[in-house]
């Protein structure tokens, strides 16, 4: 952000050696393919646990359901009954419905499609960092180093192992948000001078929209980085050579007004562009367990202070939330920026952001954290360790700045400071290794890796500081950095082939599909995983998802017998994180589960409850039949408690947004009950006439029927989606008008 009139227009420095004129874009393009291509047809799992991956838990079932809806039912799904007895599919950020690149999986097979999507976004993120640094007047080689370090950032590959595809995509859009901000800063100058709106601030709105659609959980962190970057560039830095009029108009108040326009306008545009998703999502959140999050829930997975050693020592195979390693050469160069300080303003900005982000990542380990974690805005930034993506980004920018200084040459004073820092860092690494060996009597892989790559890194950078044979040492630095990061990246995920991941639970699913009735399954031990259930079109009363209806959780606490203590992404919750044993003492209420159309209960342990019939054993998994189960729809008298004295209804036609029931009422008014969750947006029509839909038994949809044969149709038409579409169209018209007006105006000015 130094000197807006030059850097933001992308001017390029002339570089001292011909080697730096070579465009090494093949590194940016090839390396993510080189890492992920061998496993492009496999599903990634976290190396630390090797048990569950969100690609199989969430992304595969949702994509499978989307494909089914498009090709079988010929409709875009707004509702899903796959898990948790039903939920608003269009309002769920993990559905992939609104981020259209996910739709590549409609035409390409899984997991190839999702892995290709990750690779392309990693490449895009690396190029985004390259473009951002070039906009800051960094040399091509320094900008390329930054882009390469971002593409190979170990935290990205750790979360890839966890299956957090949406998060990776959103993070990879973040550098482009800063690139669009550089472009928008020129618009701030224009707004300040002419006090006219500038169309350049549309671009941040488009990037913000992409981040919201990809993973809304990242948007809070992205906005914080974006706003601070804009404020630093718009307020702190002042263009050189201003005219008297320009200086007069660039008063602080005018700057603040221009920045306000350049921040609020893209935010409003982004809200409008994402309104068809955002409005249903906010409605869902207000009805979900997320609104009951405590400060302790917000601080989940805070970074343990001891993990900060991972900045220097690669923690191979570590838990993805706590991966902090940026690469030994990256961190050495970043620390050297304290001695070089080639661009003091950029150094100051990225250093401040780095320190603040690391402090925030420590979360519950910081005194008073429970207070600030409960604040309205901060409470949206759940899982503090996720901000480590920003920390890594800061370290990369600082390291690129140091490399820039070493390439161009630094003063003798900077050389002395840099050598002193290098000596201190090398001594620290040696002392840590010696201390660890003295305490444990052995060297861990992490310490050995830190020592080997660290020694080589110190040597290469020391020689680069000397200023001799720079070409050789820059190439060596790149090669060593790539090897270091690839070794770390490959240790963070474990690829498993499709045959392996779809074989577990296959026998149970095939056994259950022999039953042709409409029913649900409940497992207190997650014995039928969601991707297996999706393949065999089996519906679950339990499930894993960050968004769960509060009313359903309350009902399931009584039905499952599992006590809910705080927020959980699983239902039922698992107290110690071990599904196979955690809930073995719980005794389910078969009558309540029966109301949910639960016919089968599957568990990895014995369950002894009256009314539960043992059916079969598959390996160690037991299949039970609930003899108190009820059909998906029934008719009962108006005065009877729910589920009593019922007449089953068998004629049901189901599709994602449309359920038709043919029912015959008796000689007096009766109630039709559908074993589906009541949710705003569901409408009911009896013989084509709109009727009132009732929430019966605290959870279920029902409607009162007059005597006679009736055709009852339930349709999901959420008002929040309709309002969102209206806002979307208004925003599109507004943006199109701006582009046309200012494009026409620019044409006239040229004439």
pLDDT in tens, 134-152: 888 888 888 999 999 999 9
Averaged pLDDT, 271-291: 94
Q: Calculate the CA 645 to chain-centre distance.
A: 47
pLDDT higher at 438 or 360: 360
Identify whether 42 is preceded by a cis peptide bond (ω within 30 of 0): no
pLDDT computed for residue 490 by the predictor: 94
Answer whether 60's CB lies under 8 Å from 52's CB.
Answer: no
Answer whether 212's CB lies under 8 Å from 178's CB.
Answer: no
Averaged pLDDT, 94-113: 92
The pLDDT-based confidence of 343 (bands split at 50, 70, 90) is low
> What is the C-alpha to C-alpha distance for residues 676 and 682, in angstroms, rounded to an integer?
11
Average pLDDT value for the chain: 85
Averaged pLDDT, 696-722: 93
DSSP E strands in 185-226: the ranges are none
Q: Nearest CA to 427 among 541, 535, 312? A: 312
pLDDT computed for residue 380 by the predictor: 64
pLDDT computed for residue 193 by the predictor: 43
Encode burial over 126-141: b for 16+ CB neighbours within 10 A, e otherwise: bbbbbbbbbbbbbbbb
Side-chain half-sphere exposure of 202, counting CA atoms within 13 A: 16
pLDDT computed for residue 294 by the predictor: 81
Report the share of the chain in percent with pLDDT over 90: 55
**pLDDT for 341 beyond 70:** no
What is the tens place of the pLDDT at every residue in 570-585?
Answer: 999 998 888 999 999 9
Averaged pLDDT, 375-403: 86
pLDDT computed for residue 404 by the predictor: 87
Report phi then psi at 204, rounded to 5: -60, -35
**For the chain, how far is it from start to end, CA to CA, in angstroms?**
33
pLDDT computed for residue 192 by the predictor: 45
Mean pLDDT check: name the lowest of 317-326, 332-341, 407-416, 656-665: 407-416
Please state the domain extents for the chain: 165-292+720-751, 501-626, 633-717
Percent composition of the chain: helix, strand, coil (DSSP 3-state, to 5): 55, 15, 30
Mean pLDDT check: name the lowest of 16-30, 177-191, 536-550: 16-30
Averaged pLDDT, 205-218: 94
pLDDT computed for residue 382 by the predictor: 79
What is the tens place of the pLDDT at every residue in 105-126?
Answer: 889 999 999 999 999 999 999 9
Q: Does domain 633-717 have CATH number 1.10.3470?
A: no
Beta carbons within 8 Å of 637's beta carbon, 6+ residues apart = 645, 670, 671
**DSSP code, position 566:** S
**DSSP code, position 305:** G
**pLDDT for 406 beyond 90:** no
| DSSP of 130-144 | HHHHHHTT--HHHHH
pLDDT computed for residue 8 by the predictor: 35
Q: Nearest CA to 339 among 428, 405, 254? A: 405
What is the tens place of the pLDDT at every residue in 236-261?
Answer: 554 444 444 444 444 556 666 667 77
Answer whether 620's CB lies under 8 Å from 638's CB.
Answer: no
Q: Which helix (H) or strand (E) covers residue 647, if one does?
A: strand 647-648
pLDDT computed for residue 12 by the predictor: 35
Strand duo 598-603 + 520-522: pairing: parallel
pLDDT computed for residue 18 by the predictor: 43
Averaged pLDDT, 297-308: 89
Side-chain half-sphere exposure of 484, counting CA atoms within 13 A: 31
Side-chain half-sphere exposure of 235, counting CA atoms within 13 A: 16
**pLDDT for 197 beyond 60:** no
**pLDDT for 170 beyond 70:** yes
Averaged pLDDT, 252-274: 80
Q: Nearest CA to 602 among 508, 519, 511? A: 508
pLDDT computed for residue 21 by the predictor: 46
pLDDT higher at 677 or 432: 677
For the full predicted model, state whether its pTM sits above 0.85: yes
Answer whether 534's CB lies under 8 Å from 513's CB.
Answer: no
Strand duo 658-665 + 708-716: pairing: antiparallel
Mean pLDDT check: name the lowest of 209-213, 233-237, 467-471: 233-237
> What is the C-alpha to C-alpha distance for residues 510 and 496, in angstroms, rounded to an integer?
22
**pLDDT for 5 beyond 80:** no
Q: Calculate the CA 485 to chain-centre distance.
A: 22
Q: Nearest CA to 320 among 167, 449, 423? A: 167
The pLDDT-based confidence of 712 (bands split at 50, 70, 90) is very high
Q: Which three-class secondary structure string do you get for 145-181?
A: HHHHHHHCCHHHHHHHHCCCHHHHHHHHHHHHHHHHH
**pLDDT for 451 beyond 90:** no
What is the tens place of the pLDDT at every residue in 631-689?
Answer: 999 999 988 899 998 999 988 999 999 999 998 877 688 999 999 999 999 999 999 89
Tokens (6 digits) for 738 = 């701006």
pLDDT higher at 273 or 421: 273
């Amino acid at each position: 952000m130094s000197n807006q009139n030059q850097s933001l227009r992308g001017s390029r420095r002339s570089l001292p050696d011909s080697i730096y004129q070579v465009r090494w874009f093949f590194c940016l393009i090839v390396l993510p393919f080189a890492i992920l291509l061998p496993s492009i047809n496999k599903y990634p799992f976290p190396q630390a646990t090797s048990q569950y991956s969100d690609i199989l838990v969430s992304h595969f079932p949702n994509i499978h359901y989307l494909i089914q809806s498009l090709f079988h039912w010929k409709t875009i799904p707004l509702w899903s009954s796959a898990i948790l007895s039903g939920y608003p599919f269009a309002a769920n950020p993990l559905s992939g419905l609104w981020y259209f690149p996910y739709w590549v999986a409609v035409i390409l097979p899984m997991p190839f499609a999702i892995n290709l999507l990750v690779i392309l976004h990693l490449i895009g993120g690396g190029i985004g960092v390259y473009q951002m640094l070039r906009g800051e007047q960094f040399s091509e080689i320094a900008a390329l180093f930054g882009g390469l370090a971002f593409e190979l950032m170990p935290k990205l590959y750790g979360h890839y192992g966890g299956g957090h595809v949406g998060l990776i995509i959103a993070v990879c859009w973040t550098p482009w948000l800063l690139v669009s901000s550089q472009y928008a800063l020129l618009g701030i100058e224009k707004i300040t001078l002419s006090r006219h709106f500038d169309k350049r601030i549309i671009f941040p709105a488009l990037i913000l929209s992409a981040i919201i659609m990809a993973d809304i959980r990242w948007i809070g962190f992205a906005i914080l980085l974006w706003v601070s970057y804009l404020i630093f560039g718009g307020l702190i830095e002042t263009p050189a050579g201003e005219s008297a009029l320009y200086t007069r108009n660039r008063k602080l108040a005018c700057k603040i007004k221009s920045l306000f326009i350049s921040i609020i306008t893209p935010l409003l545009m982004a809200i409008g562009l994402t309104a068809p998703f955002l409005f249903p999502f906010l409605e869902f959140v207000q009805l979900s367990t997320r609104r009951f999050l405590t400060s302790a829930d917000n601080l989940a997975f805070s970074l343990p202070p001891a993990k900060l050693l991972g900045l220097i020592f690669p923690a191979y195979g570590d838990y993805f939330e706590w991966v902090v390693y940026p690469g030994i050469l990256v961190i050495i160069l970043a620390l050297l920026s304290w001695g070089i300080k080639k661009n003091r303003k950029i150094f100051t900005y990225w250093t401040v952001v780095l320190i603040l982000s690391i402090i925030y990542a420590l979360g519950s380990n910081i005194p008073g954290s429970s207070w600030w974690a409960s604040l309205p805005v901060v409470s949206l930034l759940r899982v503090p360790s996720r901000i480590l993506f920003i920390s890594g980004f800061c370290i990369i920018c600082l390291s690129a700045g140091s490399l820039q200084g070493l390439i161009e040459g630094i003063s003798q004073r900077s050389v002395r400071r840099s050598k002193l820092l290098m000596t201190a860092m090398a001594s620290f690494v040696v002392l840590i290794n010696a201390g660890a060996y003295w305490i444990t009597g052995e060297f861990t892989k992490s310490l050995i890796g830190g020592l080997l790559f660290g020694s080589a890194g110190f040597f290469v950078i020391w020689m680069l500081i000397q200023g001799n044979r720079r070409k050789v040492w820059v190439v060596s630095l790149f090669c060593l950095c790539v090897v270091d990061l690839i070794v770390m990246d490959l240790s963070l995920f474990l690829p498993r082939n499709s045959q392996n991941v779809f074989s577990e639970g296959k026998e149970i699913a095939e056994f259950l599909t022999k039953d042709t009735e409409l029913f649900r399954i409940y497992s207190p031990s997650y014995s039928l995983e969601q991707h297996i259930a999706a393949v065999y079109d089996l519906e679950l009363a339990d499930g894993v998802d960050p968004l769960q209806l509060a009313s359903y959780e309350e009902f399931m606490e009584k039905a499952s017998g599992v006590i809910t203590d705080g927020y959980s992404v699983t239902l039922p919750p698992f107290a110690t994180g071990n599904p196979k044993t955690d809930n073995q003492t719980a005794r389910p209420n078969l009558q309540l589960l029966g109301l949910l159309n639960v016919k089968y209960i599957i568990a990895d342990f014995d369950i002894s409850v009256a009314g539960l019939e043992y059916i079969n054993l598959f390996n160690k998994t037991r299949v039970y039949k609930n003899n108190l189960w009820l059909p998906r729809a029934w008719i009962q008298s108006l005065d009877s408690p729910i589920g009593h004295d019922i007449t089953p209804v068998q004629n049901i036609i189901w599709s994602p947004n449309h359920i038709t029931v043919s029912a015959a009422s008796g000689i007096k008014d009766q109630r039709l009950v559908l074993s589906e969750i009541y949710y705003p947006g569901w409408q009911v029509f009896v013989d084509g006439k709109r009727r009132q839909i009732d929430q019966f038994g605290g959870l279920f949809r029902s409607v009162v029927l007059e005597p006679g044969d009736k055709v009852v149709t339930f349709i999901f038409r959420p008002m929040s989606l309709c309002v969102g579409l209206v806002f979307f169209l208004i925003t599109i018209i507004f943006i199109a008008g701006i582009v046309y007006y200012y494009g026409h105006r620019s044409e006239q000015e040229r004439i």
